[in-house]
Amino acid sequence: MALTQQRKQELISEYQVHETDTGSADVQIAMLSDRIQRLSNHLRTNKKDYSSRRGLLKMIGQRKRLLAYIQKHDREHYQALIRRLGIRG
């Protein structure tokens, strides 16, 4: 369920904060969201894949911590980011 190099570059270019940014919280959240979405689709068809489910829960927790960090520092940026990603309804 790893991201391809091309998809990773697309996400970086779309969510980077400045020109040389490759690891800011925004980029990390975007990559985690993409992996979470892919793994969720996998688990819909493979309901008994418990090790992948555990990995999914770990990724969701990591994304939650990164979103909490952004929310603590800049509330408007947090709102814009979750709107762009289409998470938290």
Whether 2 maps to a domain, the answer reads no
Question: How far apart are alpha carbons 22 and 87 in whole angstroms?
Answer: 22
pLDDT in tens, 26-83: 999 999 999 999 999 999 999 999 999 999 999 999 999 999 999 999 999 999 999 9
Residue 68 belongs to a domain with what CATH number?
1.10.287.10
Residue 40 forms part of a structural domain: yes
Q: Is the pLDDT of residue 1 over 80?
A: no
**Predicted model pTM:** 0.92
45 assigned to some structural domain:
yes
Domain count, the chain: 1
38 Rama sector, left if φ>0, alpha if ψ -120 to 50, beta otherwise: alpha
Q: What is the pLDDT of residue 88?
A: 81
